[in-house]
Structure 1
Amino acid sequence: MLKNRVLLLLVAVGLAAAAGLAFVTHAPNRLLSGQAVSWAIVLGAGRWMALLPALPLVVGPFLPQSRAVHLVLAVSAAALAASLLWLAGDVAIRLADTATPSARTSFGGAFWLIEAMAALAAADALQRGISNPAARITIGAVLILPILAVIGGGAIDQLSIMKEYANRRSVFATAVATHLAIVGATLLPTLGIGLPLGVLLDRRARLRRPVFAVLNIIQTIPSIALFGLLIAPLAGLVAFAPLLGRIGISGIGATPAIIALTLYSLLPIVRSTTAGLEQVPGSVVDAATGMGMTPAQIFRRVEVPLALPVVVAGLRVTVVQAVGLTAVAALIGAGGLGAIIFQGLNGSAIDLVLLGVVPLVAIAITADIALKLAVTMLKMRSG
């Protein structure tokens, strides 16, 4: 009898991907489209045993939904993800022995879909089997270790994406550092402006409509357009005051990127701050007033702690949004992972694009999970 419809759907999608898409592809060079490598070659010589972790997932939808079963499913999904990664690397190593140095073996559509389904299956199992958020994230981090071991052990070094990484190792490290620096530099003015503005709007309700109208209009402007609109004013400002240029401000690069990203980030921070303060029960404020607290004490000791979970939830949206939009800022010379992505797009090198996309997604997911955990912990403390 069916017990878990979500897992059944994930398994069905994974099987359909395996049947209809290539697991890995092989091409003469990085610019040409690769040909699918058959499953017979991938799983030959006993390598099919790498798929054994998939068996618990296939029968999982029909098993009793106990905590032990969910933990087994989570471990199986993580093991399957690591095994698939090893299989792809193994194929690349075998094909490299008979191919020219310029040949490339790349992940196919089936690999990405099955990996995604395995990750979702693990997340679903942990969500169902473990109620404590901190324990859930801790176990999830442990389950990622086999994947990191496969990567760190060199098992996938012959894959095209890893060859792209090897060719751009120093550039890649600089791109990641630049990307994180721009996001961090964006958060400082965003919080410095957004938090006080949110408090002001909570205290002055008549200002909410015009302020939110302006912030909503900013959100509707395409990011590349806003980046472009800032180039001329900043260039003119630097021409008027050359000292600004000496400290790194210019019409292109990080400066317009940080200004534009700050403008985009204000809406979720201001809205969450206002909403968080609004949801503080009036009876709690009245009780604090009755105890003799001053308005400043009520704000610091009562309103801020109760509003903080909502504020951090808004920060979560802001950070994830900033991580993604920073990639677009590479078009105006800001650098970061977007520079690698657009370089790959210009050269029709898909694996170079993935070299920028994969860490970008990893950073966004990591930030989202960390801030989601912070929200949960704050709610538990305030509750």
Structure 2
Amino acid sequence: MTVRFDKLGVVIAAIVAYAAFAAPFATFRANRIVPGEARSILDSLPAAVGPLLLAILFIAAIIALLKTPLVLRLAASVIALAALAILIGVAGSFLMPEGNTFVRISSASGFWLLIFAFTLLLADVLTRLNLSPWARLGGLVIAALAIGLLLASGSWNSLSILKEYANRADSFWAEGSKHVTLALGSLAAAVVVGLPLGILCHRVDKIRAGVLNVLNIIQT
């Protein structure tokens, strides 16, 4: 039996190997000011959970590395991403000393590299499956619901980003509303000016040439 390797899978497996065994999974800080202490997967999770995550990552990486059916690759990427999303919250709770409000636990480079690797695998699978627009939209809705469920469950409450949000929620929403207002205002202005101008450029060659020249100068 000939073993065949997937080209993208080789890259994904290499990223997973480095992220799982050489890069930190979480960062522990005694408070928000002091430098963080890197913690590996085994140091960040309970004794029975760390090896389980490594096993999941290993199996998923092997599936990505080899020429395997798309359904199997899809399952591997989804399971790996779900495990990472859940267990980073477990790491936050595990590393957080009881009753301590100053400690900050955050996801480290290894976690984000693993998320990147399996998101890349998932994107590759979805591209190969050639799903319909409605199926893709359904996938996005499911992903959004899963993230919302994790947020609502409090699984990530021990992570530093949510602790900071809890402390500054009013400021967050005030600044967020300003950002959305500016973004929507810019979008509305672009649509009002750009849409009629684009239609006009499509219909009138002389105008199109002049507008494109001006835009090229501005962009340059």
Q: TM-score range by the shorter chain?
A: 0.7 to 0.9
Indicate the SS of the match to 2:65: helix
Calculate the TM-score normalised by the size of structure 2. 0.84
Report the AA paired with residue 28 of structure 1: A
Equivalent positions of 1:106-255 (< 5 A) are: 106-143=106-143, 145-220=145-220
1:58 to 59, 62, 70: 62
* Structure 2 counterpart of 1:288: none
Deviation of residue 157 (structure 1)? 0.6
Calculate the TM-score normalised by the size of structure 1. 0.51
Deviation of residue 26 (structure 1)? 0.8
1:24 to 6, 26, 30: 26
CA distance in 1, matches of 2:93, 2:85: 13
Question: Structure 2: any 5+ residue segments left out of the alignment?
Answer: none
Equivalent positions of 1:1-383 (< 5 A) are: 1-47=3-49, 48-54=51-57, 55-65=59-69, 70-97=70-97, 100-143=100-143, 145-220=145-220
In 2, are the aligned partners of 1:8 and 1:58 still within 8 Å (CA)?
no
CA distance in 1, matches of 2:219, 2:99: 50
CA distance in 2, matches of 1:31, 1:152: 28
Range with greater deviation from structure 2 (17-26 or 201-210): 201-210
Indicate the SS of the match to 1:33: coil
Percent sequence identity is 29
Deviations 1:161-183 (A, max 9, x none): 11111112222233333323222
CA distance in 2, matches of 1:190, 1:73: 41
Deviation of residue 57 (structure 1)? 3.9
Report the AA paired with residue 52 of structure 2: M
Flag as ranges the 4+ runs of structure 1 deviating above 4 A: none
Report the aligned-residue RMSD: 2.4
Number of residues of Structure 1 aligned to a counterpart in Structure 2: 216
CA distance in 2, matches of 1:46, 1:18: 16
- Going from structure 1 to structure 2, the CA distance change for 1:9 and 1:161 (only over 3 Å counts) comes to same
Task: Flag the structure with higher helix content.
Answer: 1
CA distance in 2, matches of 1:20, 1:199: 54
- Going from structure 1 to structure 2, the CA distance change for 1:120 and 1:140 (only over 3 Å counts) comes to farther
Query: Which one has the largest radius of gyration?
Result: 1
CA distance in 2, matches of 1:145, 1:188: 29
CA distance in 1, matches of 2:101, 2:193: 54
